[in-house]
């Protein structure tokens, strides 16, 4: 029985290859120091990568927070109501507005006063020329007939000037022959109408006439409508009508 157990024991025994056999290749054996060095380097790379990732995430988070803060401040600035102006500023603005309004009112009143004075002066000029025209026509002395007629022409214009100039010489001759003398007195005068360049003047005159060799005559009352036209800074008679 002991002999039968030996072959089985021998079959389980691993046969070592001969030392000189070509198939006997030594198995590579890792160096423990090198393995530890590689592991340390890998750990450092991983740690650096993790640190860089953490720094990048932190920067992004800070930038995002800054943007949100700026946006929030802008929204608050837009939504915040304007602070009320100080009393001094309000008073200054009100004073300035008052000064401007007063200056405008003063200028307007000054212009209105100027217009009123100009219109009044023009009306007085028309009235004075109408009164003087009536006196010139009704006051003629045969001894100064030429001068009296020339005075009428000097104060006339337009069609009235043309008509009276054509009749001037015959009129002087008649006055001299009759040795007529007439003196007119203005009883009333007023503007019937007036515009920018012309006016109608109603004049009531009393005329006293005397002729050589004739009895003294009673004064006569005449009413005339005298048209006056403005020429430059002066005015002249442009037409004469006798009215009842």
Q: At 28, is the pLDDT very low, low, confident or very high (cuts 50, 70, 90)?
A: very low
Average pLDDT, the chain: 76
Answer yes or no: is 232 within a domain: yes
pLDDT digits (tens, 9 = 90+) for 86-109: 777 777 787 778 778 878 877 777
pLDDT digits (tens, 9 = 90+) for 166-180: 999 999 999 999 999
Beta bridge partners of 141: 181
Answer for the pair 206, 184: CB distance below 8 angstroms, yes or no.
yes
Q: At 5, is the pLDDT very low, low, confident or very high (cuts 50, 70, 90)?
A: very low
CA distance 43 to 228: 121
Answer yes or no: is 26 within a domain: no
pLDDT digits (tens, 9 = 90+) for 121-155: 999 999 999 999 999 999 999 999 999 999 999 99
Residue with tokens 């300035």: 96
* pLDDT over 60 at 199, yes or no: yes
Q: What is the pLDDT of residue 145?
A: 94
Domain that holds residue 157: 112-242
CA distance 168 to 60: 114
CA distance 243 to 166: 23
Q: What is the pLDDT of residue 71?
A: 57
Answer yes or no: is 222 within a domain: yes
Q: Which residue has the higher pLDDT, 45 or 66?
A: 66
Domain count, the chain: 1
SS3 164: helix
What's the CA dihedral at 103, 107, 109, 115 to 10 degrees?
Answer: 180
* pLDDT over 80 at 119, yes or no: yes
Q: The sheet that has 140-141: what strands, in order across it?
A: 140-141, 181-194, 198-210, 220-231, 234-242
Beta bridge partners of 227: 200, 239
Beta bridge partners of 113: none
Q: At 220, is the pLDDT very low, low, confident or very high (cuts 50, 70, 90)?
A: very high
Answer yes or no: is 180 within a domain: yes
pTM comes to 0.56
Answer yes or no: is 104 within a domain: no
Q: What is the CATH number of the domain that holds 128?
A: 3.10.450.230
Write phi, then psi, for 212 (nearest 5 degrees): -65, 135
Answer yes or no: is 142 within a domain: yes
């Amino acid at each position: 029985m002991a002999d039968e157990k030996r072959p089985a024991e021998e079959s389980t025994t691993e046969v070592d290859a001969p030392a000189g056999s070509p198939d006997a290749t030594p198995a590579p054996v890792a160096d423990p120091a090198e393995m530890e060095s590689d592991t340390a380097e890998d750990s450092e790379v991983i740690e650096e990568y993790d640190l860089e990732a953490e720094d990048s995430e932190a920067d992004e988070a800070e930038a995002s927070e800054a943007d949100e803060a700026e946006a929030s401040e802008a929204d608050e600035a837009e939504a915040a109501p304007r602070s009320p102006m100080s009393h001094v500023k309000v008073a200054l603005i009100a004073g300035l507005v008052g000064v401007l309004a007063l200056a405008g009112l003063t200028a307007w009143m000054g212009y209105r006063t100027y217009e009123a004075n100009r219109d009044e002066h023009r009306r007085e000029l028309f009235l004075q020329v109408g009164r003087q025209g009536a006196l010139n026509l009704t006051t003629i002395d045969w001894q100064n007939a030429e001068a009296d007629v020339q005075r009428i022409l000097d104060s006339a214009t337009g069609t009235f000037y043309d008509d009276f100039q054509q009749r001037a010489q015959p009129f002087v001759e008649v006055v001299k022959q009759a040795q007529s003398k007439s003196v007119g007195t203005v009883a009333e005068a007023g503007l019937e109408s007036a515009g920018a360049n012309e006016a109608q003047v109603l004049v009531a005159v009393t005329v006293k006439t005397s002729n050589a060799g004739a009895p003294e005559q009673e004064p006569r009352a005449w009413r005339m409508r005298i048209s006056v036209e403005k020429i430059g800074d002066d005015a002249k008679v442009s037409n004469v009508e006798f009215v009842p």
